[in-house]
Amino acid sequence: MQQADVVLYDSLVSDEVVDLCRRDADKVFVGKRRDNHAVPQDGINQLLIDYALQGKRVLRLKGGDPFIFGRGGEELESLKAHNIPFQVVPGITAASACSTYAGIPLTHRDYAQSVKLVTGQLKNRTTDLNYAELIHPNQTVVFYMGLHTLPVLAENLIEHGKPADTPAAVVSRGTTRDQQVLIGTLADIAEKQAEAQLAAPALIIVGEVVKLHENLTWFGDQVLHNHGLVLPDAHATED
């Protein structure tokens, strides 16, 4: 981060992390939100190529892990096609970070022996998922980028055989000071989210491990509440 001449950073990267980069580096925001891409993916690929061919040291700074729904593979394919050398520093993917900060182990000998990480939005912007692979018992399913399709995801899981009372959680802005966790079941989590309006970015965790949240939570409002502090309304959202 201190060696880069140019930093291309995402919306999931906090200001505090960006500030760790070299002070005189050119910082280019290329973040993406649903239906609001500051720079299209093809444009990001081209920027990486252009800056590198200018002889600059380029840092592509992402939140999470670049190889788990981070499009890191697509960007490196573009660099490889132009014989541009690169190296990758792995990150901590959101499923691991957010579940940990929410007190929800993704695996547990009594509840889940496997985990599936799934995107809630495919490249063609549909949710045509293989639900038969997502309904197995003793399995935790984590949906990335699925907040806006939560009703569809829950409905399809139930229709394909997942019990309606399967625990589910929405973790909003996980690991940050604004983290909020919403707990429900497949039957009511979409309705609860419609009322609570927890903000993106958010992860959806489905599985029996969600039951552990109440006992294992250690970060955020619940911890403050245990110390007798006055808390803001859990349903409050930013203006």
Task: Considering the candidates 5, 26, 27, 32, report the single residue annotated as catalytic.
Answer: 32
Task: Considering the candidates 10, 62, 65, 162, report the single residue annotated as catalytic.
Answer: 10
State yes or no: is 32 an active-site residue: yes
Alpha carbon distance 112, 176 (integer Å): 26
State yes or no: is 162 an active-site residue: no
**CB-based contacts of 173, cutoff 8 Å, min separation 6:** 179, 180, 199, 201, 202
Active-site residue set: 10, 32
